[in-house]
Chain A
């Protein structure tokens, strides 16, 4: 299974998230946390593989573009990748509600982990609100991002109009 397609999509998303979109400072975490939607979906989709090394490289690129310490977004993306893989191994029949709930848990976990890691880095408690806002917005926008990927995620029934039982 080729990983080139998902890798290119992820790198493109990182570059788009880094350009200035004139968002207020309080919303500064929204775009980076929207990227975890891409990491989550590209990990669990079945046709093509998203390698862990690509996730690491994309996170490193995000660190460079955001002038943050190297390794911060890389470890967050890797954690998202790990949680998504854990969900994919345990998921049965693909259903949108279950997928959304799994992503919500992942996003909240990532927001909390990101806040703790940043606080450890600065050796003081940083403002938690931007991380929480970013996580909540990512959860809210998840259905919009899932829609183009619904086929590869197995959310579209193929014999909806088939005859017989």
Chain B
């Protein structure tokens, strides 16, 4: 019977004492790094930031094919439902035109009331838009890496939004890239307002798709479908950013289904919302920058 000869007939791998010691040393280093990470050591954060900055140009280039694939997928999906989508958009446009008329009337009334009350106008927020070049996968974080950094004026604490609503918050800035934790990240805590009654609560991320709504007042009832938005309390985030809608959770708990599709983020905008809290925190972490004045809508955008 013919015997098959395989390419690269196996050879016995020799044990090298040096190699085994190296492997043991690497395991040891991994354990030490894990412990220091758990203790939230500052040097670990700096090392991470440095490495992220070094790799971000490569990530930006590597993310282009993924962006093209997603756009192609979305175009294909849109093409399949083209006619139904057209009918839906016509109906929506009709309703929105009615709301436009109502909004203009309400706006005029608001201007009149402001002048009567001599109220101070809220400043318009400047923003800059970038795209997501990496997103965190694993049990530890729900975060994204954006191709905007200190060179574009990004600071820690700035809110990140997209067309659907609030997405997350900047937690680390490099020169050319920044990392933002998503609103469903384990470390995310957002003071919110719920429903038409503007009930105060806190949205707490738990790495799941629908973060939990906690610290609701006992006497207050919230309902499925209530809109959730940022309250602005604590001075970290601007007030009124859309987050999602209330959905019932297990037991008597409530969760929030975000408007933004957090798994499919492409382009996001970072809001330049400078408050004393954001400025003090960012200056403490980075030791750079000076307070930026809050500009009104009359100033030029970046």
Contacts and interface: CB of A to CB of B under 8 A. Distances in A.
Interface of A: 15-25, 28-29, 31-32, 46-47, 52-53, 56, 59-61, 64-75, 78, 82, 85, 88-89, 91-94, 114-115, 117-118, 121-122, 126-127, 130-131, 151-160, 162, 164-165
Interface of B: 1-13, 19, 22-23, 26-27, 29-34, 36-38, 44, 47-48, 51-52, 55, 58-59, 62-63, 66, 69-70, 73, 132-145, 179, 207-209, 262-266
A118 B139 contact: yes
10 contacts: A16-B62, A25-B142, A25-B209, A65-B134, A71-B32, A71-B34, A72-B140, A154-B7, A154-B9, A159-B4
A21 B69 contact: yes
A78 B264 contact: no
Contacts of A122: 139
Contacts of B209: 25
The residue among A19, A53, A93 with the most chain B CB atoms within 10 A of its own CB is: A19
Given A70-B47, A75-B31, A92 B10 contact: yes
Which of A28, A78, A164: most chain B CB closer than 10 A?
A28
Given A59-B30, A158-B5, 14 more contacts: A15-B62, A17-B137, A18-B59, A19-B63, A20-B144, A22-B70, A52-B23, A66-B136, A67-B136, A67-B145, A72-B34, A94-B6, A94-B10, A165-B3
Contacts, number: 184
Contacts of A68: 136, 138-141
Nearest to B144: A20
A56 B19 CA distance: 13
Given A56-B30, A68-B138, A20 B63 contact: yes
A114 B30 CA distance: 13
A66 B141 contact: yes
Contact of B133 (A19, A24, A151, A160): A19
A147 to B, nearest CB: 15
- CB-CB nearest 3 A-B residue pairs: A69-B37, A71-B33, A75-B30
Contacts of B48: 64, 67, 70
Contacts of B51: 60-61, 64
A157 B29 contact: no
Query: Most A CB atoms within 10 A — which of B10, B19, B262?
Result: B10
Contacts of A127: 139, 207
Given A25-B209, A53-B26, A88-B13, A155 B135 contact: no
Contacts of A59: 30
Contacts of A70: 33-34, 36-37, 44, 47-48
A47 B7 CA distance: 11
